[in-house]
Amino acid sequence: MRSFLFLSFFTLSFSFATWAQEVSEAFLIDVFDKSIKVVAPQGKSKKIAVIIKNQTLSALRAKLISDDGLYLKMMNLAPRKELSLEIEIKDKERYFFVPLAPPIQEVELQWGKKTYEVPSLPSP
């Protein structure tokens, strides 16, 4: 009987773990050597927090821009460090995280997309 209860509990807990999703109230941007992972907020608000984590072993230089080319923030981030900032959102604008060094593909910040990942640019 005990083994049946243990097995039932283990099976249920494992099935719930597979349904877990990452949810955030801010943009969480994890920069890796070969990709960028973004956890997006579900709703849009007037101000939004953006948290950038440099998971690489080299310094990260990047900018946060809007689709009209307006610089919102330039940043230098040491290896294994993170930076938190808050930006004001305009209704019709799109926003991009653009890594300059190391050169990884730019990422559009998209609301409601949950978690998404963008690979790095292929080497020539």
In the chain, the domains with their CATH numbers are 22-119 (2.60.40.420)
Q: List, for residues 82-108, the tens digit of each pLDDT value.
A: 999 999 988 888 999 999 988 888 899
Between residues 121 and 26, the one the model is more confident about: 26
Q: List, for residues 12-69, the tens digit of each pLDDT value.
A: 555 444 444 555 689 999 999 889 999 999 888 889 999 999 999 999 999 999 988 8
DSSP assignment of the chain, as one string? -HHHHHHHHHHHHHHHHHT----BSSEEEEE-SSEEEEE-BSS--SEEEEEEEE-SSS-EEEEEEETT--EEEEEEE-TT-EEEEEEE--TT--EEEEEEES----EEE-TT--EEEEEPPPP-
